């Protein structure tokens, strides 16, 4: 499929059979209210699908289905090795349906098809595979009691997991939550983002095909303040896994306090710094990755390296290198395999990005980009944009823009770099480029971020936890630590005659 042309992808897109109704109890159903909303392709403005608009009534139905499925043990009581087989089959089905899933995400939120095919869908399949293979290797504990007592500490599924996810990696964000939660034996009600609900609906259908029993995996598309809030405040949801903005993450913590005190696991925004020191020998590699770190996925990445901190002696040279890379990453038709950057998710997001850009033109030094553009006369596209001389208190350096906008901030020494890097309410990720091992370790130790990448950006894998510090939230996806969210520790204390 890497040989497909634009025309190939366009004809495959035209032939898609898009699922657009809620998936509850193993069936596609209309919203209780009968209401719908349009899912639009941001590259063309065309309506892709008319989607069921779930609200509190649909969340109620989905939670009831999930609760019934959990309580009768049809999934939770399966031996871990049996759940493993089903989830491995699901990973295989994702691979078998790779083109369709990649197209759904590309059309729904504007990412380039090449990334969806090579990164998003293979990533989702690998996460399901990883948790399937992990779940029958998670042991409990025997506590050190004396003779006459046997105390077992086991991990049990929490029950009904509510998951609310954003639109920037629609399939992957759903997979991050569902893979670990399902492997641990829970039932799920997933609310995808209203801007990109399509791949999650297909994922739930594939899960059923793989053998996940009816009612175990439910998907309710709808809006945040209605469907999302109903899930967050539901008395019968046992845990809420959230990925999205910091503002909404805080709301979910309030919803919990207003309802049943369910644990809430927020994974929220970021304003990640990328520190390039003059002793970095391979500046070409550093520039390649710095460009990837902000222009990949149109900059709509929670851990995007949106602040480039450069040691002053190499600043002019490095900015020149970055300008070249920005110029060669101009947005194009997301379905064209030659495109490196796609469309911004929608008009609202595009306008929000352009407000930052216009204000930035008055307060910093625009060195490339800075314009909204169209492709074939249509769509929401923004040029890769770089501002130099950004003062650390400029909104360009403080706010999460969630677009292809890079702010360059020069520094004079290591201490200053660390101070600027940590001067943010966020703490999701950070990168450091240096060939001085001592400095790499020192700086990494002092950066307040959930992941620090050294001589790379955005290091991420199923084998390491991903999540933040400070107002980037405290939930962790990926690695065995994800089971901390989806399992409860249970003590069973047995008295016996010694």
302 is catalytic: yes
Q: Which residue, 90 or 428, has its beta carbon nearer to ligand NAD?
A: 428
Long-range contacts of 74-79 (CB under 8 A, 24+ apart): 74/213, 74/215, 74/216, 75/182, 75/185, 75/187, 75/212, 75/213, 75/216, 76/157, 76/185, 76/186, 76/187, 77/185, 78/185, 79/136
- Supply the DSSP symbol for 466: B
Which of these is catalytic: 267, 300, 311, 400? 267
Residues paired with 363 in a beta bridge: none
Residue 284 C-beta: closest distance to ligand NAD, Å: 29
Q: Is 248 in the site for ligand NAD (CB under 6 A)?
A: yes
Q: Which residue, 302 or 380, has its beta carbon nearer to ligand NAD?
A: 302
267 is catalytic: yes
Stretch that binds ligand NAD, among 34-42, 130-138, 227-235, 360-368 (CB under 6 A): 227-235
Residue 279 C-beta: closest distance to ligand NAD, Å: 31
Cβ pair 452, 252 in contact under 8 A = no
Q: Is 257 in the site for ligand NAD (CB under 6 A)?
A: no
Please give the residues from 12 up to 31 whose contact with ligand NAD meets the rule CB under 6 A. Answer: none
Stretch that binds ligand NAD, among 126-134, 136-144, 238-246, 331-339 (CB under 6 A): 238-246
Stretch that binds ligand NAD, among 69-77, 80-88, 160-168, 332-340 (CB under 6 A): 160-168
- Residues, the chain: 498
Q: Which residue, 84 or 191, has its beta carbon nearer to ligand NAD?
A: 191
Please give the residues from 409 up to 468 whose contact with ligand NAD meets the rule CB under 6 A. Answer: 428, 468
Residue 196 C-beta: closest distance to ligand NAD, Å: 8
Q: Is 164 in the site for ligand NAD (CB under 6 A)?
A: yes
With both helix axes pointing from N to C terminus, report the angle between 170-183 and 98-109 in degrees, rounded to the nearest 10.
130
> How many helical (H) and strand (E) elements, i.e. helices and strands, does the chain have?
17, 23
Residue 167 C-beta: closest distance to ligand NAD, Å: 5
Q: Which residue has the tokens 């003590």?
A: 491
DSSP string, 311-360: EGGGHHHHHHHHHHHHHTT-B--TTSTT-SB---S-HHHHHHHHHHHHHH
Dist CA 62 CA 22 (whole Å):
9
| Options 97, 268, 368, 479; binder of ligand NAD; rule CB under 6 A | 268
Which of these is catalytic: 53, 99, 100, 302? 302
* Interface residue list for ligand NAD (CB under 6 A): 164-168, 191, 193-194, 223-225, 228-229, 232, 243-245, 248, 251, 267-270, 302, 400, 402, 428, 468, 472
Q: Which residues are catalytic?
A: 267, 302
């Amino acid at each position: 499929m890497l040989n497909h042309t634009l025309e190939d992808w366009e004809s495959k897109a035209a032939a898609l059979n898009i699922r657009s109704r809620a998936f509850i109890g193993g069936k596609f159903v209309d919203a209780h209210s009968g209401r719908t909303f349009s899912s639009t392709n941001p590259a063309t403005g065309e309506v892709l699908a008319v989607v069921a608009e779930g609200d509190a009534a649909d969340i109620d139905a989905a939670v009831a289905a999930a609760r019934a499925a959990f309580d009768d043990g049809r999934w939770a009581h399966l031996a871990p090795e049996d759940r493993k087989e089903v989830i491995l089959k699901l990973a295989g089905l994702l691979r078998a349906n790779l083109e369709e899933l990649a197209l759904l995400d590309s059309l729904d939120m504007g990412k380039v098809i090449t990334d969806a095919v090579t990164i998003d869908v293979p990533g989702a399949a690998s996460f399901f595979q990883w948790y399937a293979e992990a779940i029958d290797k998670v042991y409990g504990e025997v506590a050190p009691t004396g003779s006459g007592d046997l105390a077992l500490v086991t991990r049990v599924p929490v029950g009904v997991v509510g998951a609310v996810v954003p639109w920037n990696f629609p399939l992957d964000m759903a997979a991050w939550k569902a893979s670990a939660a399902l492997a641990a034996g829970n039932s799920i009600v997933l609310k995808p983002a209203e801007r990109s609900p399509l791949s999650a609906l297909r994922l739930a259908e594939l899960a059923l095909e793989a053998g996940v029993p009816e009612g175990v995996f439910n998907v309710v598309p709808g809006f945040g303040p209605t469907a999302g809030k109903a899930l967050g405040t539901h008395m019968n949801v046992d845990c809420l896994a959230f990925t999205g903005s910091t503002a909404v993450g805080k709301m979910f913590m309030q919803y919990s306090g207003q309802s049943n005190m369910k644990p809430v696991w927020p994974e929220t925004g970021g304003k990640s710094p990328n520190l390039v020191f003059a002793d970095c020998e391979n500046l070409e590699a550093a520039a390649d990755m710095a460009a990837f770190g902000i222009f990949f996925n149109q900059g709509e990445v929670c851990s995007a390296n949106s602040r480039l901190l450069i040691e002053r002696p190499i600043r002019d040279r490095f900015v020149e290198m970055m300008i070249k890379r920005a110029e060669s990453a101009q947005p194009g038709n997301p379905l064209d395999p030659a495109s490196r950057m796609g469309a911004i998710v929608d008009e609202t997001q595009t306008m929000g990005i352009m407000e930052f850009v216009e204000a930035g033109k008055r307060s910093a030094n625009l060195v490339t980009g800075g314009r909204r553009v169209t492709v074939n006369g249509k769509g929401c596209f923004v040029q890769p944009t770089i501002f130099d001389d950004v003062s650390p208190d400029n909104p360009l350096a403080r706010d999460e823009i969630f677009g292809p906008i890079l702010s360059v901030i020069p520094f004079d020494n290591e201490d200053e770099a660390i101070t600027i890097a940590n001067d943010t309410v966020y703490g999701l990720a950070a990168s450091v480029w240096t060939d001085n091992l001592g400095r790499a370790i020192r700086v990494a130790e002092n950066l307040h971020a959930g992941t620090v990448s050294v001589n790379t950006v955005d290091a991420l894998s199923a084998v390491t936890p991903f999540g933040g510090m400070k107002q980037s939230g405290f939930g962790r996806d990926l690695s065995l630590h994800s089971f901390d969210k989806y399992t409860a520790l249970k003590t069973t204390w047995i008295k016996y005659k010694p």
